[in-house]
């Protein structure tokens, strides 16, 4: 796992420019650094040594120095790929990076079709004067770029590009509108107007001053697996085990995140059957009501004899949020705060950790999957009756404005019943954030007018309505796997682990396993009101029965309640005089309405207030270039001490 950067320009690349870019990515690769420059081309690298510890220095070149690569990620099938290389290649290292170089010599751009792993890389082909950039199938590794006149530049994180050119600090208004609506920023947008994000499963070619972007992989939900439920379960078991075995390829010890949920518990159970001795597991515990994950994680750890490590996460806006936002480069949600603390603890023990991300999107693990199917039946009631009779009754339900209450769920169903297809699914995701009424409340009139022609739900609808899936459940899974997953949980996992020089691997994000799951019948994923049906049958083989019957809660679920007292402070020192208000994006009165309703427990605006707080911190740090200490002092309610 590493950080990569590069420049292709019509004039000679300066070593100091490339060095600034890689220095900004030092947290991703604290073990080594390297640069290769040839006239108007420069490739930079920061390395976290996992495979080929002694001979994996990058950038790396082929035998005649005509192909050069800077690579971030892991190729798990690199040993098999090595066996397929013709004898004409002089293989000089034991690392996976070199396999990509030689395969590129054989296959050109089709090299990506042979790789099994997570990756973001750039190859400079000196003979063809062509740069090829690629990002893995499900977007585990990030890649950002800028094409400005005759210069093309790329980096693993936005901060690498900002280090090259500070003038790139311009807000993309459409990205802000999208973030407030659906909580993610979808490719090719980033929060910066001129910085683009390469979509998952895509490659980019920069040649003759032109950029070409095209997909090399897509996920097709065409049920074609024949066999009984039991036979398919056995096949799934073998497929997941194969992926776990691949993800354990490492020259350093590997640990595991363990939440006590299905996904991470299955991974730990399989690891125990593959590894030769005990390994370390890491649990983040948030103590709020009955939300604690620790008792369930302990059950799994005790069953498999792991060396368990636990951290009680006591989050704080003031202490941690500015640092987290700075590491993310873009605003996000409470999950980032939790993972930041968990990764910090984990890195003290191991350099590589397996996690359970991706299971919900493979097997249908969110309430909305059966919720949207249920809405189909409710929508059969005549519209007049739903509006005139059911609507007023549901509006009067007690607790109906509080997240996850029965009344709130019924209000959600009532609202969704007036939409269809991809539009309904997009609205179902944005309902808990800034759907239309709330956007109108908190966004300034001028900002709303400028954003009026932009559809912030377009990408979700596009993938939902694509031909890749036919059934409703598969359409939702397809949209999530292409939109929400790579740009929310997977993005957060990468940034928060790499912030501490920790490599996170996710067996459920193996693209061949994803293809297998996509080929399963929808009823094996969501059966009636039972979510991830086949994964539960798999879990019965690996996890204690107490875990099988627990409700899904999510790592960061209690955070907005745990931090309720800090929302008032955040408003007083951050939102009341928000830069986003001053610069014409948000409306101060609307924000105050949200806060008042939330503190008086009239409505649950915890998620919305979080998005606003995070966006404001991001704006001050990344657009206004306020330093971290200044923003932290602002949140503490004190001005920074003058220097000198």
Q: Which tens digits make up the pLDDT trace of 412-438?
A: 899 999 999 999 999 998 888 998 889
Strand 503-505 to strand 352-354: parallel, antiparallel, or no bridges (unpaired)? Answer: parallel
Judge if the upstream peptide bond of residue 419 is cis by omega within 30 degrees of 0.
Answer: no
User: What dihedral do alpha carbons 616, 187, 138, 180 form, nearest 10°?
Assistant: 30
Condensed to tens digits (0 to 9), the pLDDT of residues 185-216 reads 999 999 999 999 999 999 999 999 999 999 99
Q: What are phi and psi of 123, to 5 degrees?
A: -120, 125
Query: Measured between alpha carbons, how far is 391 from 457 in angstroms, rounded to an integer?
Result: 25
Q: What DSSP letter does each residue of 416-431 carry, written as one string?
A: HTT--HHHHHHHHHHT
The pLDDT of residue 404: 66
Q: Bigger pLDDT: 224 or 347?
A: 347
Assigned token pair, 41: 């081309």
Q: What are phi and psi of 602, to 5 degrees?
A: -85, -30
The pLDDT of residue 641: 40
Residue with tokens 């249920």: 374
| Dihedral sign of CA atoms 139, 143, 144, 145 in order | negative
Query: Measured between alpha carbons, how far is 8 from 161 in angstroms, rounded to an integer?
Result: 13
Residue with tokens 């073990």: 31
Q: At what angle do helices 335-347 and 489-498 cross, to 10 degrees?
A: 40
Condensed to tens digits (0 to 9), the pLDDT of residues 93-131 reads 888 999 999 999 999 999 999 999 999 999 999 999 999
Output the CA angle 141-147-152, nearest 5 degrees: 75
Domain 229-364+479-548, CATH homologous superfamily name and number: HUPs (3.40.50.620)
The pLDDT of residue 1: 62
Select from 449, 479, 486, 446 the least CA-distant residue to 581: 446
Query: Measured between alpha carbons, how far is 644 from 535 in angstroms, rounded to an integer?
Result: 61
147 and 138 Cβ atoms separated by less than 8 Å: no
**Which residues are paired to 396 by β-bridges?**
none
Across residues 549-569, what is the average pLDDT?
66
Query: Measured between alpha carbons, how far is 262 from 283 in angstroms, rounded to an integer?
Result: 14
- Residues above pLDDT 70, as percent of the chain: 93
The three-class DSSP label of residue 513 is: helix
503 and 1 Cβ atoms separated by less than 8 Å: yes
Across residues 251-271, what is the average pLDDT?
93
The pLDDT of residue 643: 36
631 and 623 Cβ atoms separated by less than 8 Å: no
Check whether 486 has a pLDDT greater than 90: yes
The three-class DSSP label of residue 67 is: strand
Query: Measured between alpha carbons, how far is 176 from 172 in angstroms, rounded to an integer?
Result: 7
The three-class DSSP label of residue 236 is: helix
Sheet containing 210-215, strands listed edge to edge, beginning at the edge strand earlier in sequence? 60-61, 67-75, 117-125, 130-135, 202-207, 210-215
Condensed to tens digits (0 to 9), the pLDDT of residues 126-182 reads 999 999 999 999 999 999 999 998 899 999 999 999 999 999 999 999 999 999 999
Domain ranges in the chain are 2-215, 229-364+479-548, 367-476, 563-635
The pLDDT of residue 549: 77
52-56, 165-169, 438-442, 625-629: segment of lowest average pLDDT: 52-56
User: What dihedral do alpha carbons 13, 19, 25, 31 form, nearest 10°?
Assistant: 120
Catalytic status, residue 2: yes
Judge if the upstream peptide bond of residue 128 is cis by omega within 30 degrees of 0.
Answer: no
Please list the alpha-helical segments (H only) found in 431-578: 436-442, 445-451, 458-464, 472-482, 484-487, 489-498, 511-518, 533-539, 545-548, 559-562, 564-570
pLDDT interval class at 642 (50, 70, 90): very low
DSSP state, 221? Answer: B
Check whether 639 has a pLDDT greater than 60: no
For 2-215, the fitting CATH number among 3.40.50.300, 3.90.180.10, 3.60.20.10, 3.20.20.140 is 3.60.20.10
Check whether 272 has a pLDDT greater than 90: yes
Q: Which helix (H) or strand (E) holds 628?
A: helix 628-635
Contacts of 8 (CB under 8 A, 6+ apart): 40, 41, 42, 124, 131, 151, 152, 153, 206
Check whether 29 has a pLDDT greater than 80: yes
Select from 242, 137, 136, 117 the least CA-distant residue to 505: 117
Strand 144-148 to strand 151-155: parallel, antiparallel, or no bridges (unpaired)? Answer: antiparallel
The three-class DSSP label of residue 623 is: helix
Is-above-0.75 flag for pTM? yes
The CA distances from residue 135 to 6, 387, 578, in Å, are 15, 47, 36
Across residues 336-345, what is the average pLDDT?
91
The pLDDT of residue 188: 97
Q: What are phi and psi of 500, to 5 degrees?
A: -110, 15
600 and 594 Cβ atoms separated by less than 8 Å: no
pLDDT interval class at 644 (50, 70, 90): very low
Q: What are phi and psi of 147, to 5 degrees?
A: -115, 110
The pLDDT of residue 640: 42
Query: Measured between alpha carbons, how far is 98 from 356 in angstroms, rounded to an integer?
Result: 29
Across residues 80-87, what is the average pLDDT?
90
Residue with tokens 């745990």: 562
Across residues 477-486, what is the average pLDDT?
95
Contacts of 472 (CB under 8 A, 6+ apart): 372, 373, 376, 522
**Which residues are paired to 312 by β-bridges?**
285
* Average pLDDT along the chain: 91
- Residues above pLDDT 90, as percent of the chain: 70
Across residues 18-44, what is the average pLDDT?
94
232-246, 443-457, 598-612: segment of lowest average pLDDT: 598-612
DSSP state, 198? Answer: P
Across residues 490-499, what is the average pLDDT?
96
Strand 307-312 to strand 280-285: parallel, antiparallel, or no bridges (unpaired)? Answer: parallel
Q: What DSSP letter does each residue of 295-328 carry, written as one string?
A: HHHHHHHHHHT-EEEEEE----HHHHHHHHHHHH
Condensed to tens digits (0 to 9), the pLDDT of residues 220-250 reads 998 777 889 999 999 999 999 999 999 999 8
Q: What DSSP letter does each residue of 339-403 carry, written as one string?
A: HHHHHHHHHTT-SEEE--TTHHHHHT-SHHHHHHHHHHHHTTS-HHHIIIIIHHHHHT-TTTTST
Q: For the beta carbon of residue 488, count every other beta carbon within 10 angstroms.
A: 19
The pLDDT of residue 91: 84
**Which residues are paired to 482 by β-bridges?**
none
The CA distances from residue 289 to 265, 286, 292, 452, in Å, are 23, 9, 8, 42
Query: Measured between alpha carbons, how far is 75 from 73 in angstroms, rounded to an integer?
Result: 7
């Amino acid at each position: 796992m590493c950080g990569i950067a590069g420049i292709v320009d019509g004039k000679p690349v300066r070593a100091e420019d490339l060095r600034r870019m890689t220095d900004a990515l030092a947290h991703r690769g604290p073990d080594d650094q390297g640069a290769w420059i040839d006239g108007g081309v420069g490739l930079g690298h920061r390395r976290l040594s996992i495979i080929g510890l002694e001979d994996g220095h990058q950038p790396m070149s082929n035998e005649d120095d005509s192909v050069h690569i800077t690579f971030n990620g892991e190729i798990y099938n690199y040993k098999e790929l090595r066996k397929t290389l013709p004898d004409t290649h002089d293989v000089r290292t034991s690392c996976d990076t070199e396999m990509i170089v030689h395969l590129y010599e054989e296959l050109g751009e089709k090299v990506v079709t042979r790789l099994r792993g997570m990756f973001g890389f750039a190859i400079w082909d000196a003979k063809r004067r062509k740069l090829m950039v690629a990002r893995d199938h499900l977007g585990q590794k990030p890649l950002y770029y800028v094409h400005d006149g005759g210069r093309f530049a790329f980096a693993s994180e936005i901060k690498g590009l900002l280090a090259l050119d500070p003038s790139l600090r311009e807000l993309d208004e459409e990205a802000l509108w999208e973030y407030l609506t659906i909580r993610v920023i979808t490719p090719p947008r980033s929060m910066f107007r001129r910085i683009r994000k390469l979509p998952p499963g895509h490659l980019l070619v920069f040649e003759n001053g032109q950029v070409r972007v095209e997909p090399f992989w897509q996920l097709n939900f065409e049920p074609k697996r024949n066999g009984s439920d039991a036979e398919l379960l056995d096949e799934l078991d073998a497929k997941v085990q194969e992926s776990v075995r691949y993800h354990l390829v490492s020259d350093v010890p590997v640990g595991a995140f363990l939440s006590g949920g299905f996904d991470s518990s299955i991974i730990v159970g399989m690891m125990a059957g593959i590894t030769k001795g005990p390994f370390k597991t890491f649990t983040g515990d948030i103590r709020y009501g009955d939300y604690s994950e620790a008792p369930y994680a302990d059950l799994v750890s005790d069953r498999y004899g792991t060396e368990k490590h636990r951290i009680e996460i006591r989050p704080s806006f003031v202490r941690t949020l500015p640092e987290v936002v700075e590491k993310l480069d873009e605003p996000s949600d409470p999950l980032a705060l939790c993972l930041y603390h968990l990764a910090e603890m984990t890195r003290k023990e191991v350099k590589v950790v397996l996690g359970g991300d991706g299971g919900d999107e493979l097997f249908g693990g969110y309430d909305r999957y059966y919720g949207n199917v249920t809405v189909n039946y409710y929508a059969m009631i005549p519209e007049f009756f739903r509006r005139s009779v059911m609507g007023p009754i549901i509006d009067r339900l007690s607790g109906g404005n509080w997240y996850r209450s029965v009344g709130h769920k019924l209000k959600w169903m009532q609202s969704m019943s007036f939409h269809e297809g991809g539009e309904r699914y997009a609205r179902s995701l944005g309902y808990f954030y800034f759907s239309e009424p709330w956007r109108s409340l908190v966004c300034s009139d001028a900002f709303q007018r400028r954003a009026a022609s932009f559809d912030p739900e377009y990408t979700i609808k596009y993938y939902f309505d694509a031909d890749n899936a036919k059934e409703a459940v598969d359409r939702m899974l397809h949209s999530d796997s292409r939109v929400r997953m790579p740009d929310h949980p997977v993005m957060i996992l990468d940034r928060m682990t790499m912030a501490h020089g920790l490599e996170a691997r996710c067996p459920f994000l193996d693209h061949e396993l994803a293809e297998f799951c996509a080929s399963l019948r929808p009823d094996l994923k969501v059966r009636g009101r039972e979510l991830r049906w086949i994964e539960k049958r798999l879990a019965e083989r690996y996890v204690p029965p107490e875990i099988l019957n627990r409700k899904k809660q999510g790592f960061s679920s209690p955070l907005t309640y745990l931090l309720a007292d800090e929302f008032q402070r955040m408003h007083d020192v951050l939102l009341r005089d928000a830069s986003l208000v001053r610069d014409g994006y948000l409306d101060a009165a609307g924000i105050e309405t949200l806060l008042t309703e939330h503190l008086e427990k009239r409505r649950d605006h915890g998620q919305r207030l979080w998005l606003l707080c995070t966006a404001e911190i991001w704006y001050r740090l990344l657009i206004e270039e306020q330093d971290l200490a200044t923003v932290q002092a602002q949140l503490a309610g004190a001005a920074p001490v003058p220097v000198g």
